Amino acid sequence: MSKIRIIPCLDIHNGRVVKGVNFVGLKDAGDPVEIAAAYARSGADELIFLDISATTDKRDINLDIMRSVAKAISIPFAVAGGIRTIDDFRRVLEVGASKVGVNSAAIANPSLLSEAANEFGSSCVVLALDAKKRADGSGWNVLKNGGQTDTGMDAVEWAIKATDLGAGEIILTSLDRDGTKEGYDLELNKIISENVSVPVIASGGAGKLEHFYDAVTIGKADGVLAASLFHFKELEIMDVKHYLKERGINVHL
């Protein structure tokens, strides 16, 4: 079994790290370069930077921040938000990112995934999948534009299609659980993980140590992502790693 990755997510808005609940009610959490460096020192396996307003504001991602982050850390990091073209992939990778995440643009143009995979390799292409449970409980729909627009697409079907096209990893965010600290959507994570052959990173809902364990054992996640828990020092990354290690989960110490 490959090692389970513990991944802090830094939501970027106007050049600052922020955190909200269900993608709204944003609070300032600090400078992204300083926070990235602190996470790298404290044992994070990877980082994810999500420019949460780049798509809705129709602007480019802040490459200067990503360039500074790359100089400040030695662990891999992914960048998402505002990625629309192959040139965007190229620019983000050139400033030092290891992976590029795409959501809305891939929904509008699925061939972007295959083009990026052919150009840079599937390992660099991450599908950022935001999902919300349908009111009738029959499954999950895919959302885009920072969780503001319900596409009506089925999340499982989209995950399968996207990975067939070349996405080498999925960051799976439950909009129902994001920022709630009530635990990951284990049912959602399990069904996506069982239907694709690429790593799935569970996102949205971490509130206590048990949630990370459940995401791996029940939700079948290959990595676990959290934001506010780590930003506001409610849990340390090594606390999570030691907890998982003690329960037989393979993590990098």
Would you mind telling me the total number of residues written for the chain in this entry?
253
Q: How far apart are CA 183 and CA 207, in angstroms?
A: 6
Please tell me which residue in 130, 178, 214, 222 is annotated as part of the active site: 130
Helix (H) or strand (E) holding 131: strand 125-133
Q: How far apart are CA 137 and CA 44, in angstroms?
A: 35
CA-nearest of 18, 236, 240 to 146 is 18
Confirm if 216 and 180 have CB atoms less than 8 A apart. Answer: no
Q: Tokens standing for 76? A: 């891999």
Whether 45 is catalytic? no
CA-nearest of 47, 6, 64, 56 to 26 is 56
Whether 136 is catalytic? no
Q: Tokens standing for 176? A: 């129902």
Please tell me which residue in 11, 51, 88, 185 is annotated as part of the active site: 11
**Three-state secondary-structure class, residue 151:** strand
Other C-beta atoms closer than 10 Å to the C-beta of 126 total 29
Look up residue 186 and give its DSSP letter.
H
CA-nearest of 172, 26, 38, 17 to 101 is 172
Supply the residues annotated as catalytic.
11, 130
